[in-house]
Amino acid sequence: MEGTAASRMMASAGALAGLKVIDLSRVLGGPFCTMILADHGADVIKLEPPQGDETRDWGPPFREEDGKRTASYFIGVNRNKRSVGLDLTEPGGRAVLFSLLEGADVLVENFKPGTMERWGLGYITDLAPRFPRLVHCRISGFGADGPLGRMPGYDAILQAMTGLMSVNGDATTGPLRLGTPAVDLATGLFSAVGILMALIERTRSGRGQFLDMTLYDCGMALLHPQAANFFLNGRRPMPLGNPHPNIAPYDKFPTRTCEIFLGIGNDAQFAKLAAGIGRPELATDPRFHSNAARVENRSALTAALAAAFAPEDGHALAARLLKAGLPVGPVLAVDEATAAPHTVHRDMVTSLGDYRGLGTPIKLSRTPGGTRRPPPGFAEHTAEVLAAHGFSAADIEALREQRAVPTRRK
């Protein structure tokens, strides 16, 4: 192919071109979901309340522009969207939403369950009858019913309540929060998958449907292999730190220059590792001849490997073993990982003007996605979007006077 991968991505309209998404979500799970759709061509119209998406203030660091500042947290999950300020507590704001939903394929929101219904925007009673093809995705902490129904939820709280925190860390730390907001991000991913499933089903039935997505369910769905182990042996999984509960060696090791992480999944790989580090006898040692034996004798194996790795240049060792077909790599910091040659080759850092962000991991051959517009300023596209939906300049000014479409954050 001619040209760079980045230029090919920009040249594509995207696999979801023509899809119209109304995004009422804030913070992370919903915006991450809609950015996935926007990266691949969907027209995502982000409707922000008068105070804006609160993550605009979740800094430092901030980007300063025209006397306004926007936090990196917001910037990281809101590219390729257009922003409209909209106050749904005002009748005029709700009327605007109904206009924007004409011809829309997807609505994503993460209000507390019951909020949309109180505004006369419930899926069953208000939206489905008027927009029968609409796919409505609601993201909430726990759902609308059950013992925890309608309770608020944030990522770390759900990490704690779903057991994820209990298997992270080690005996010295106790339960430990994952460094990335895994529950929010997974909920965004699962929501994007669910939306696409509903859109595919719509091609057969002609009807939209409601997606009830919760942080609780998505956090529980991440408990592999710990839940599978518990269901089989009945023993409570404990935090092991870096080691894997079912595989050995699968751990972090120090070397002369850096730390490396090694993950050996079968006996053939272990024999190749033993030969590659000049310790072929480890592969025939009865304590290490099978994965089950290596797990049982994890401490002795770790000590033997640590001694072999200690004098090595970790980067050179990892490169040599990786080329031999073994899963091993240096432990890199974020700045090192984002600057790595393979990161550049895979277009996993994207830029447009002064915007920089992580690229899309979904690589399609004919309709690749990519960065088309930077994250929007608050209400940056209000006039543009409303005009495209039939509102005159006088209509828009009247809505502003009614405070239905704010142009500045409260």
Q: From CA 204, how far away is CA 201, in angstroms rounded?
A: 5
Q: From CA 357, how far away is CA 370, in angstroms rounded?
A: 11
Give the residue numbers annotated as catalytic, written as ranges: 184
Based on its alpha-carbon atoms, the radius of gyration of the chain, rounded to whole angstroms, reads: 25
Length of the chain in terms of residues written: 410
Structure tokens at 85: 């300020």
Structure tokens at 37: 């759709």
Closest by Cα among 407, 342, 338 to 76: 338
DSSP conformation class of 372: -
3-state secondary structure of 2: coil
How is 88-142 classified by DSSP, letter by letter? TTSHHHHHHHHHHHTT--EEEE-PPTTHHHHTT--IIIIIHHH-TT-EEEEEESS
Q: From CA 194, how far away is CA 186, in angstroms rounded?
A: 12
Q: From CA 366, how far away is CA 384, in angstroms rounded?
A: 30
* Pair 249, 301: CB distance under 8 Å: yes
Closest by Cα among 154, 135, 141 to 112: 141
Structure tokens at 44: 């995502």
Buried b (16+ CB within 10 A) or exposed e, 283-311: bebeebeebebbbebbeebbebbeebbee
* Pair 140, 210: CB distance under 8 Å: no
Contacts of 185 (CB under 8 A, 6+ apart): 28, 29, 32
Structure tokens at 372: 């088309």
Q: From CA 28, how far away is CA 154, in angstroms rounded?
A: 10
* Exposed/middle/buried for residue 145 (C-beta within 10 Å: 0-12, 13-18, 19+): exposed
